[in-house]
């Protein structure tokens, strides 16, 4: 029986609220895993894929960074955006990828916020990776 409560919340919605066996999350210092009974933890997340397992079945979720809190057999994820593969708009992610790639051309070096474009590029690459289109 899955004993770890997983909740993923964005400013728009509760993306997921379920019980799982295991969560792997993209922490800023690398991936970390959480099982029921984990010690309390608060950490920042990076853009990446979170995954959870229920009865051996693994599901991946795109996470655009944010925070994870673990307490009392519950892991709460607060993220600016989070999507399962079925909810990713591939055309939108492809357009975001193209836009970010263009902004990162040396030609635009002095006009664009490089860090912002790098993060947009990473979000697009990870989203497309989850949909297996890249």
User: By the criterion CB under 6 A, which residues form the site for ligand ATP?
Assistant: 12, 64, 80-81, 83, 87-89, 92-93, 96, 120, 123, 127
Q: Closest separation between CB of residue 90 and ligand ATP, Å?
A: 7
- The Cα–Cα gap between 66 and 17 comes to 17
Q: Which is nearer to ligand ATP, 12 or 29 (CB)?
A: 12
Q: Closest separation between CB of residue 98 and ligand ATP, Å?
A: 11
Dihedral pair phi/psi, residue 28, rounded to 5° = -60, -25
Q: Which is nearer to ligand ATP, 25 or 100 (CB)?
A: 100
In contact, 52 and 23? CB cutoff 8 Å: yes
In contact, 8 and 15? CB cutoff 8 Å: yes
List the end-to-end C-alpha distance of the chain, in Å, as a whole number.
35
- The Cα–Cα gap between 120 and 103 comes to 10
Q: Closest separation between CB of residue 16 and ligand ATP, Å?
A: 13
Q: Closest separation between CB of residue 44 and ligand ATP, Å?
A: 16
- The Cα–Cα gap between 121 and 119 comes to 5
Q: Which is nearer to ligand ATP, 21 or 83 (CB)?
A: 83
Q: Which is nearer to ligand ATP, 34 or 100 (CB)?
A: 100
């Amino acid at each position: 029986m899955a004993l770890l409560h997983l909740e993923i919340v964005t400013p728009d919605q509760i993306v997921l609220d379920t019980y799982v066996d295991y969560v792997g999350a993209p922490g800023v210092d690398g991936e970390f895993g959480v099982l029921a009974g984990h010690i309390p933890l608060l950490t920042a997340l990076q853009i990446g894929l979170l995954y959870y397992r229920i009865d051996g079945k693994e599901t991946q979720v795109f996470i655009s960074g944010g925070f994870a809190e673990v307490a009392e057999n519950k892991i709460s994820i607060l993220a600016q955006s989070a999507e399962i593969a079925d909810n990713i708009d591939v055309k939108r992610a492809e357009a975001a990828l193209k836009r970010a790639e263009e902004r990162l051309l040396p030609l635009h070096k002095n006009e664009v916020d490089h860090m912002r474009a790098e993060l947009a590029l990473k979000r697009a690459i990870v989203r497309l990776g989850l949909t297996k289109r890249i």
